[in-house]
Amino acid sequence: MALTLQRNIILALLIAIAAAAWALLIWQQIGLDADMRMGIYSPTMGMKAPLFLAVWMIMMVAMMFPTAAPMILTFHQVQAGKRGRGETFVSTWVFAAGYMLIWGAMGVLAFAGAAGSEVLAAYVGLSTATAARIGGALLMAGGAYQLSPLKYLCLAKCRTPVGFILTSWRDGQWGAVRMGVQHGLFCLGCCWLLFLALFPIGIMNLAAMAVVTLLIFAEKTLPSGERIAKVSGVALLLYGATVLVFPQALPTFQPADAMTMN
């Protein structure tokens, strides 16, 4: 009963933290909507590195805490058993911190890529239609990855928390951090191109973020998760191909006379 109570408390905290993160994103979206009405769009959404990284981490908490909950709860269950036997106990949040380190590093790479693409687009005078078609190619790349063997190798690790614990267990504080980082890498391997696909759709598009969150959660937890991943891959391929032909099908597409470059 004590373990059940602890698991319920941790799950409630994960949900509450994720809900708070979603609330912050909605608040942030209000200001961005005003910019979009003025015809302003860029991969970095006009944010400098510190703000971009802060918003990115809030996004990762909102989107990834619910999907990582089964692994976090399994880690806590093992640690509670060790404490019950009088062995060294490590807080579950140490594991969660190691997990978020991976997504923080991914945020740095995401900002570098987004800022670099803005500079390159301005330098070569990229048209809005060409930029949208590049976005379509990214969507197709995300769809192709959803069907790749590497995707399913990483997904298998994420779908079996107990299997991960049995094969990757490390004792102590640093061991928990290492396990969190390792699980974060597998999780990244599952869905990094899904996050890349958010850039052409809109990095702060709340509807797209919600769909990606539900998709990742379904892939990891539902019995038909692998089938769902394949269906989503085909959908991304078809949508990306549509954008290549009709660039205006991309939500972030802006007519040339309405585009404002920062």
Which pair of tokens denotes residue 33?
């909507």
Query: The whole model's pTM is what?
Result: 0.84
What is the model's pLDDT at position 34? 54
What is the model's pLDDT at position 259? 46
With a cut of 70, say whether residue 256 has pLDDT above it.
no
CA torsion 75→77→82→83, rounded to 10°?
110
- Beta-carbon contacts of 232 under 8 Å, excluding residues fewer than 6 positions away, are 143, 146, 215
**pLDDT, greater one: 41 or 95:** 95
With a cut of 50, say whether residue 261 has pLDDT above it.
no
pLDDT in tens, 219-243: 999 999 999 999 999 999 999 999 9
Residue 135 contacts residue 246 (beta carbons within 8 Å): no
Question: What band does 155 get if pLDDT is binned at 50, 70 and 90?
Answer: very high
Residue 143 contacts residue 196 (beta carbons within 8 Å): no
Distance CA 46, CA 67 (A): 29
What is the model's pLDDT at position 260? 45
> For residue 90, with 0-12 CB atoms within 10 Å meaning exposed, 13-18 middle and 19 or more buried, which class applies?
buried
